[in-house]
Chains A and B, each alone.
Chain A
Amino acid sequence: MTFFVVLFFSCSKKKSESDHNEIHKVYKDTEENKETEKAKEDAIQQPPFSEGIFPCTACHADLLPNPVRRELTEMHDDISAIFDHDSENRWCLDCHDLKNRDSLKLASGKLLDFKESYKLCGQCHGEKLRDWKVGVHGKRTGEWNGKKEYSLCANCHNPHTPKFKELSPEPPPIRQEDIK
């Protein structure tokens, strides 16, 4: 008799475990679907072009490409003036493509849309890219449990002079002795 009871219990236990696994699997599937849906909903801010600068081909289409490293004096001299991004070793064509002016370029030579510029930044700043992807570096707005908006690296850091600029602080709180 005892034997049967034990058998019965062990069977029912096994069954419930397999049920549980099944449920877990289904649950996980829907979670994954949700995950992809969520990713689709998330939006990335537009690249911060100066007004009237894009598409670059508007001017560059008629210009002869010159791959020689030089200080720009006529056009884009404003960028030359502020350029401070490993300026000793790098210049325009390390990130911008010589032939496809409306594209960026990875070190591998692969062309890249401006909307994916974070991949370009991530070539050197891999640790930052990793943190950015999980939402720890940089800013996320929107919903903590749903649709979010991300900023591109360039939305906060000017890629030509990436150090975050100082800000004027808002006024300090009123001192206790100044309360009337």
Chain B
Amino acid sequence: MKKENSRRSFLKNISLATFSALALSGCDMKAIDEFLQQNFRTLSKKEIDEIIKNLEAKYKRKYGKEFHVSAKPAIEGTLFGYALDLSRCIGCRRCVYACVKENNQSREPQIHWIQVLQMEKEKGIDFAHSNVQYNPEKVPEKGHFYLPVQCQQCRNPQCVTVCPVKATWQEPDGIVVVDYNWCIGCRYCMAACPYGARHFNWGEPNVPVEEINTEMHYLGNRPRMKGVVEKCTFCIQRTREGKYPSCVEICPVGARKFGNLLDPDSEVRYILENKRVIVLKQELNTQPKFYYFFGI
């Protein structure tokens, strides 16, 4: 005999009741839509357009500016790669703040996607004795070199493997992205990342209205919420439009190189073929697409 008051029907009823209670209490329907939104990768083109329209309106209400949120997919035939010349970097941290500005990172509490590590030349690459807090009058300091670390955009990203809800994944052009609406904030990915490249919004992110970058990508620099993880996306809003990432453009010594690994004429391919390159923590088999090299 079939039970009338099964657990399933109870759950169904209670969720219906909650939903109608929420709807009746005058709660914004759009907020409910947003709450019930599916994983970005399962959405149809129409649904994405609708969501983006709503987001642009929402940001306009909140910040009083015109926003452009893109959901541009990967350009066919691209696999992004990055190369950083360790012999040139002088540790001026211009990239850190250009990144913050471009990607709307929270200023207070502070989030930086790039950490510049100062290391002693005598010791070589030694994370345990590196210093991120250096603050002399002038850089570079004698006997030191500088190693900026950001997301290494691994081919074998452990952050993606561990995500229990598939809120983070690798795009066809190699960029590892996060669906902030789908992220549950469990921070497993932060534990899995061997480069400390993922950052958690412990508090409500705070970006000054006059400094906010209105050119956005859904999977990139749109404003994040409290309780979600964020990371470097190779400036997805710029690079999918053909531009260089903003850390590349700001670097005063030209130590940062970016391009398409599938294009044999690109700068990064030249570096891979003609310079000595290393990847960080090679033994972990994460296979980064972020290479360090010695240009001299």
Contacts and interface: CB of A to CB of B under 8 A. Distances in A.
Given A131-B295, A136-B267, A164-B90, A172 B135 contact: yes
B196 to A, nearest CB: 12
B71 to A, nearest CB: 20
Contact of B97 (A131, A135, A143, A170): A170
B242 A146 contact: yes
B63 interface: no
Contacts of B90: 164, 166-167
Interface in A142-169: 142-146, 151, 156, 164, 166-169
B254 A139 contact: yes
Interface string A119-143: 0000000000001001111111111
Contacts of B109: 179
Specify which of B93, B249, B266 lies most central, judged by the most chain A CB atoms within 10 Å of its CB.
B93
Contacts of A156: 252-254
A145 B260 contact: yes
B242 A172 contact: no
B114 to A, nearest CB: 10
B170 interface: no
A163 to B, nearest CB: 12
Size category of the B interface is 35 or more
A136 B243 contact: no
B92 A169 contact: yes
Interface string B66-103: 00000000010000000001000011111011000000
Contacts of B200: none
Interface string B127-155: 00000111111111000000000000000
B135 A169 contact: yes
A173 B110 contact: yes
Nearest to A127: B296
B220 interface: no
A43 B193 CA distance: 40
A137 B92 CA distance: 18
A164 B295 CA distance: 15
A138 B257 CA distance: 10
A144 B96 contact: no
Contact of A175 (B112, B133, B239, B257): B133
A171 interface: yes
B258 interface: yes
Contact of A136 (B139, B239, B295): B295
A53 interface: no
Contacts of B94: 170
Nearest to B137: A168
Nearest to A175: B133
Specify which of A143, A164, A172, A179 lies most central, judged by the most chain B CB atoms within 10 Å of its CB.
A172
Nearest to A166: B138
A174 interface: yes
Interface of B: 75, 85, 90-94, 96-97, 109-110, 112, 115, 132-140, 239, 242-244, 248-249, 251-254, 257-260, 263, 266-267, 270-271, 274-275, 295
Given A167-B90, A168-B138, A169-B92, 10 more contacts: A137-B254, A140-B267, A141-B249, A143-B243, A156-B253, A164-B253, A169-B93, A169-B135, A170-B94, A171-B135
7 contacts: A141-B248, A144-B239, A144-B259, A146-B242, A168-B139, A169-B134, A179-B109
